[in-house]
Chain A
Amino acid sequence: MFDFDALAACMSTSACLVNQATSGLIIGMLLFLVASGVTLIFGVLHVINFAHGSFYMIGAYFAYTTYHITGNYFLAALVGAVGAGICGILFERLIISRVYGQNLLMQLLVCYAFILIVDDLVKIIWGAEYLAMGIPAEFRLPPLRFAGGFVPPFYLFLVAVSVFIGIGSLLLVTKTRFGKIVRAAALNAPMVSALGIRVNVYFALLFGFGCALAGVAGALAAPVRSLTPGMGLGILVESFIVTVIGGMGSIPGAFLAAIILGLTRSIGSVGFPLFVDGAMFMIMALVLIFRPTGLLGQGAVR
């Protein structure tokens, strides 16, 4: 099962190192975007958005259609993000807000129902077949060469955007007035609303922002991944693993965990190709057993 020779051989050539390190980063960054939405929503609203993968899918499909009509990828990515954000706000207002503070079961079920409904709606609107957006004209360039390794320009763009958005959302929560109000409301909502602030609006906006992050991830993935109804599920499970490893509610934690997972995948595909998934779950189980709050999370879990 383990092929240490191949791993050692890879580690000793710069080409392989570059290839695997960058691919780890690429895989990690999209996961990070989705997971940071999950973690943000959980950190403030204390609900698990099990339907987060659906917003990733919504973002991808919106971007696909926009790109199809306008031919402008940057606009498409924006529409994907904003569209997912608006759907997120609607979802929060109409559905999730009704189960705040109720038991986990209720939250889980409405999300399950939402996933079923959205998957079927996508099938009705866009059809059951797999769609592919294709690489936008701006990025149809030969891969760059670094120390013998290959790096496609589109992936550089993808990583840059993800890091930028990650830092942006961290600043949004920690430094801005919006972030401060939201965090205060999370601790004591009645108090904050007594100050004349409409807490519900802030909650909805934050939820929408979290979903927009998933939407961006979907839009960034659309050029290279095939679009199908139900595409949100795979990324949902992985982004949960990221969230749990990084620590619920911690954006830097999600970042760290996403990179760990990305590297596990990319190095694993060389060293232990048949145990990549197993390794991911094992890391998660170990973290939960020995540091249940996650690598960078805080708070009691027992």
Chain B
Amino acid sequence: MKKSYTRPRRGIDRRTVLKGAAAAAAVTTGITGFPAYLKAANTPIKIGVPTILSGRVAILGESSVAAIKNEIRKINEAGGIEGRTLEAVVRDSRGKPDEAARMTRDLVNNEGCDIILDAEASGASFAVNEVVRDMKQFCIHTNSETSSLTADPKNQVDWVFRSCRQGIHDAVGGGLVAAKVVKEKGLKKWATISPDYAYGRANTEEFMEYVKLFAPETEVITETWPKLFQPDYTENVTALLNAQPEVVYSCLWGGDLVAFFDQASLYGLFDQFTAFAVNLGDYPVLTAIKSRPAGVYSGSRYHKDIPDTAENEAWYESFMANSNVLPTNWSWQNAAAVNFVVEALKKTGGDTDSMKLAEATSGLTIDSPFGVDGTLTIREDDHTLVNYMVGYSKTIVDEPYVVDFDQTAWSEIYKHEAEWKKRNGYM
């Protein structure tokens, strides 16, 4: 303990403090702002990344940053863009929206970032959305799955895009697979257990809506809503037991899902019901759960065999060789974002002007290991990603953990998405 006291002295050295006390606060701000001004000398193309690196979601943020850095490394080793290298400037917002907003401003104004990859989760991504709208700054959201971020016209911005899953796409895919399964097995009574916040509620509602659409005899007999980051799910597990449903749906994620699975297994829950968990298929989750039940249906997140191509396998190997965390759903989404940025930069000839980049990105299709037929597209009309892998697999106890990927055709998704947009007045 004692030894470490030497460090903070540098942090608040006395001269800075005294000056701050003597003059106004402003003097001090000038001092620290200064080095950053100088640093903005602008040889590399700077990509600002506000994300979450502390707290309970840190693993996802770290896997995002690892993916971004790995893609950038590949580009730079291949000679960069028009002779300029790429450089990521990462900031930890701790998931706080106002910090994310402030850091995004700092990244642009102070660090001289040309491009923002918003690797924040839902709450903070809306804050970043407002900031980049305000600053007219080119930005790609890489992690927020909330449908309304790009679907709702009031959130749409001409120079802002999204390179990740969208809740509604997964809901259609999940609904189709689930309907097929329950019809085969003759199951009708559903229960849901999802985290009690905007994502959990919207996701569950959308999923059940499509199950009901495809299997009209479906009936939801109980819903239980644990709090986000709730450590103990015993009361929710017993609530499920009491209701005795035939099928259970959950959009719990990360550590919460791990805890729920281990606790539910104690009660033998998965021996009694069929279960669907959209966020189960991520490597850190699958490897963390100790009592991994077989036969649980899991939404696609990231998996080296989905799609089962040499490109995807190669991407996985490269990621694993250069990262100390496992790849997650967030990893591929951020890698895809970097790929889009690179393609757009090639189109503009290395020009980082926000409006030119936006024009180049809108409707852009790139080759990608994560796409259905080797390509991904950012759709022109709502600036969101399409043609990625959507579907459900079934878990097995040992590696590769999930098998039997049931892929949803994008034609189906487009059809239902359009209807959904109409219903919500988004079109």
Contacts and interface: CB of A to CB of B under 8 A. Distances in A.
Are A and B in direct contact (Cβ within 8 Å)? yes
Interface of A: 10, 13, 15-16, 19-20, 22-24, 26-27, 30, 94-95, 119-120, 123, 127-135, 140, 142-143, 150, 152, 154-155, 221, 223-231, 234-235, 265-266, 268-270, 273-274, 276-277
A269 B301 CA distance: 30
A269 B58 contact: no
Contacts of B265: 135
Residue with the greatest number of chain B CB neighbours at <10 A, chosen from A26, A130, A225, A266: A130
A273 B325 contact: no
Interface in B195-248: 196, 223-225, 227, 229-232, 234-239, 241-242
A230 B55 contact: yes
B242 A270 contact: yes
Contact of B231 (A24, A132, A235): A235
B242 A135 contact: no
Given A130-B284, A135-B265, A135-B290, A27 B242 contact: no
Nearest to A135: B291
Contacts of B59: 127-130
Given A226-B258, A228-B56, A266-B235, A130 B288 contact: yes
Contacts of B54: 119-120, 123, 229-230
B290 A94 contact: no
B225 A129 contact: no
Contacts of B229: 234
Given A129-B288, A225-B231, A234-B230, A16 B237 contact: no
B1 interface: yes
Nearest to B271: A142
A27 B239 contact: no
Contact of B62 (A128, A234, A268): A128
Interface in B253-300: 254-256, 258-259, 262-263, 265-268, 284-285, 288-291
User: Do most interface residues of chain B lie in helix, strand or loop, or is the interface mixed?
Assistant: helix
A162 B408 CA distance: 49
Contact of B242 (A10, A224, A225, A265): A10
B187 interface: no
Nearest to A269: B235
A33 to B, nearest CB: 13
13 contacts: A19-B241, A23-B234, A27-B232, A94-B1, A123-B58, A128-B58, A130-B284, A132-B289, A142-B268, A150-B238, A265-B235, A270-B242, A277-B227
B238 A266 contact: yes
A277 B225 CA distance: 11
B255 A224 contact: no
A23 B238 contact: yes
Contact of B290 (A10, A127, A132, A234): A132
Given A235-B231, A265-B235, A266-B235, A224 B266 contact: yes
A226 B255 contact: yes
B268 A224 contact: no
Contact of B284 (A94, A129, A143, A234): A129
Contacts of A120: 54
Contact of A229 (B58, B225, B258, B284): B58
B224 A273 contact: yes
A270 B262 contact: no
Contacts of B88: none
B258 A130 contact: yes
A16 B241 CA distance: 8
Given A134-B262, A226-B259, A234-B231, A143 B238 contact: no
Nearest to B290: A134
Given A19-B241, A230-B56, A266-B238, A152 B266 contact: yes
B89 interface: no
B81 interface: no
Given A23-B238, A234-B230, A143 B56 contact: no
